Structure 1
Amino acid sequence: MAGRAFDQPREHPCRSHPEGRAFLPVAQDAIRTFYAAREALRPPKGRQAVLNFAALHTLSVTMLPDCLTRIETELPATASKVIPDRGGIEANLETLISGEADFFLTYAHPYVPMLLDPEQFDWIGMGREAVLPVVSPALHLRGGGAAAGGDLLGQALNRKIELPYLDYGRVSFFGTALQRL
């Protein structure tokens, strides 16, 4: 095969366009800003990075332990701190809004407004749970009763009969959802 060898350099002079030369200082400044931000977020030498978590009480004993284990495995140089449940959805959200918490583990439901600016806070779904109403087998509807295991809730709604139920309180997540239901 005739021609030049592949190992011999071939000259292709590279020149930037005027637009590229004009953009170069902007690109260099963006890179400097990125590196400065990365350096500012690093913990000082000898000090461990800490992630602060806020979680509703039920999630702090069901889902949060697995999250913390995964973080410990994947980011061994990072410590975590759990902020105790503040007793109401707004108080718990405040830990995130104020910057006290880096992450907030909560439930989500269309009946419970999240009250967070989606432009300021990102979120990710971690799973789905079903909440099932259960009833004492001794409960009978006034005005005719109902068979145990029957659709007591549906029957009560149809007959407009009040049912006693365990309430969570109006400021809790489930309390807010129940009030709307």
Structure 2
Amino acid sequence: MEAKWLEDFLSLAESRSFSRAAHDRHLTQSALSRRIAALEAWLGAQLIDRSVSPIRLTSTGIMFRGQAAEILRGIYAARTLAHGHELVADGVEVVRMSVVHPLLFTLVPNQLRQIRAELGHVKAKVQAVNVPDGVRAMVEGETDLFLAYHHPHLPIVLDPNRFPFLSLGSERFIPVSAVGPNDGPLFQLPGDSAEPVPFMAYAPGTFLGNVVEMLLLNASRPCALQRVFETHLSEAVKAMVVAGNGLGWLPENSIAREMREKSMTFAGGEQWTTQLEICVYRSSDTQNAAADELWGWLAKSAASNHP
């Protein structure tokens, strides 16, 4: 059996048309028909009822459709794992990096370019994570470096003796809104209880969501906010705010262009802002020489930023 036979079958099961499935699969109709027939011969069962139009799956075909999708998912996953293993086996020095989503759009692209220029033999394999998944990956040895925000009131729970960290800098976390009349914010803190400000919120329990709650609890005056949108992703908050749907909090580096182009503006006083430290963590138990080298490079970079 060949994986492409399964892909052909799933395409045909979706379209219920040999001509449409052949077009989608970039095949002639006769070639697709032969491959479906080959799959049926291999299985020893008929999957397609060709006596009706549009065609339909037989009872065996209906049962096999889910199995075919599951088999393909396993094949694709195996290829991904094998490719990652092949990189290491062929002598390429790979560093596994877990990065929280906001930093994936701001700090990491430039950092990877510098790594490629200065440490060309070291390859970074980057995965976007939330903070709990990044911590778990560090503890379970599934990643070499973990790049995340840190706040002293909301520390990441990793033993510093086992998981040392470097500070790579900091940025402000600020409330922002789309620009309204007279270049002012369309929505502004603290809001009015008679007409609460629509709030683009982070999901409960997320790191940035906890930072927002900390700011609101410690502010000198209450805010009138109506939670009308909720997400795990800062990019989703950004898109909603730029579109004029409400007010939200974002890391300042992630909205530098929008602030410069005046499609977004500051929407509250300093009492509703805080500094987020950018930290990179590693395990003291790692045996990855490439991770050791990259850690040293990051340490030098951090030292130059904090003379």
TM-score by length of 1: 0.57
The alpha carbon displacement at 1:54 in A equals 0.6
Seen in structure 2, the aligned counterparts of structure 1 residues 135 and 77 have a Cα distance that, compared at 3 Å, is closer
1:22-171 correspondence runs (5 A): 46-85=90-129, 88-135=130-177, 152-153=188-189, 155-156=190-191, 163-171=197-205
Name stretches of at least 5 consecutive residues in structure 2 with no aligned partner.
1-86, 216-307
In 2: Cα distance, 1:61 partner to 1:90 partner: 19
Paired amino acid for 2:153: Y
User: How much identity, in percent, do the aligned residues show?
Assistant: 28
Aligned to 2:211: 177
Determine if contact 2:92/2:123 at 8 Å carries over to the other structure: yes
2:168 match: secondary structure: coil
2:135 match: secondary structure: helix
Determine if contact 1:89/1:171 at 8 Å carries over to the other structure: no
Paired amino acid for 1:165: F
Paired amino acid for 2:97: F
Paired amino acid for 1:121: F
For the pair shown, the structure with the greater C-alpha radius of gyration is: 1
The alpha carbon displacement at 1:57 in A equals 1.1
Paired amino acid for 2:201: D
The alpha carbon displacement at 1:72 in A equals 1.6
Seen in structure 2, the aligned counterparts of structure 1 residues 73 and 180 have a Cα distance that, compared at 3 Å, is same
1:167 match: secondary structure: strand
The alpha carbon displacement at 1:118 in A equals 0.9
Determine if contact 1:56/1:106 at 8 Å carries over to the other structure: yes
The alpha carbon displacement at 1:55 in A equals 0.5
Determine if contact 1:96/1:104 at 8 Å carries over to the other structure: yes
Determine if contact 1:170/1:179 at 8 Å carries over to the other structure: no
In 1: Cα distance, 2:140 partner to 2:133 partner: 11
The alpha carbon displacement at 1:156 in A equals 5.0
Seen in structure 2, the aligned counterparts of structure 1 residues 132 and 70 have a Cα distance that, compared at 3 Å, is same
Paired amino acid for 1:119: N
The alpha carbon displacement at 1:46 in A equals 4.3
Residues 117-148 of structure 1 show CA distances to partners (whole Å, capped at 9, x for unaligned) of 1111121121221122124677xxxxxxxxx6
1:119 match: secondary structure: coil
1:106 match: secondary structure: strand
Paired amino acid for 1:167: A
Seen in structure 2, the aligned counterparts of structure 1 residues 44 and 137 have a Cα distance that, compared at 3 Å, is closer
Backbone CA RMSD of aligned residues: 3.1
The alpha carbon displacement at 1:162 in A equals 5.9
The alpha carbon displacement at 1:45 in A equals 8.1
TM-score by length of 2: 0.36
Question: How many equivalent pairs are there?
Answer: 125
In 2: Cα distance, 1:90 partner to 1:105 partner: 12
Residues 18-57 of structure 1 show CA distances to partners (whole Å, capped at 9, x for unaligned) of xxxxxxxxxxxxxxxxxxxxxxxxx988411110111011
Out of 128-137 and 54-63, give the one that drifted further.
Answer: 128-137
1:115 match: secondary structure: coil
Seen in structure 2, the aligned counterparts of structure 1 residues 136 and 116 have a Cα distance that, compared at 3 Å, is same
Determine if contact 2:88/2:94 at 8 Å carries over to the other structure: no
Name stretches of at least 5 consecutive residues in structure 1 with no aligned partner.
1-42, 139-147
In proportion to residue count, which structure has more strand?
2
